[in-house]
Amino acid sequence: MTEALGSTATPESGRPEDEETTKRGRRGGKRAKKGPFGRLALFYRQIIAELRKVVWPTRSQLSTYTSVVIVFVVIMIGIVTVIDYGFNNAIKYVFG
């Protein structure tokens, strides 16, 4: 009357097995049909398409981001300098 759970009557993926084998058998796709210059042109077209999607910052945002980065780098340089000076003095104290 009822089928047992886990029955193998229907494939679990829901697609016939012949589609799976045709997808595995196909290699390269459109890339194999184009030469190296065609692939290079496609690559540059994709780069331009991605750059059109970018939301570029305004001049004020760019100056704000730049100043934040410069301040952060200066602070990190100060921290590393202090730590280096401390290690230098510790080594001089330990080894004479």
- CA distances to 20, 54, 94 from 25, rounded to whole Å, are 9, 37, 69
pLDDT recorded at residue 16: 56
Q: Where are the domains of the chain?
A: 63-95
When pLDDT is cut at 50, 70 and 90, the band that residue 9 belongs to is low
**What's the Rg (C-alpha) of the chain?**
31
pLDDT recorded at residue 22: 55
pLDDT per residue over 35-76, tens digit each?
889 999 999 999 999 999 999 999 999 999 999 999 999 999
CB 34 within 8 A of CB 42: yes
Nearest Cα to Cα of residue 30 among 38, 22, 21, 18: 38
Report the alpha-carbon distance of residue 96 to residue 59 in Å, rounded: 54
Considering the entire predicted model, what is its pTM?
0.49
Amino acid at residue number 64:
T
Residue 79 has pLDDT above 60, yes or no: yes
Mean pLDDT computed over every residue of the chain: 82
Mean of the pLDDT values across residues 78-96? 95
Residue 13 has pLDDT above 60, yes or no: no
Q: Which two tokens stand for residue 81?
A: 């300098």
The CA angle 41-46-47, to the nearest 5 degrees, is: 100
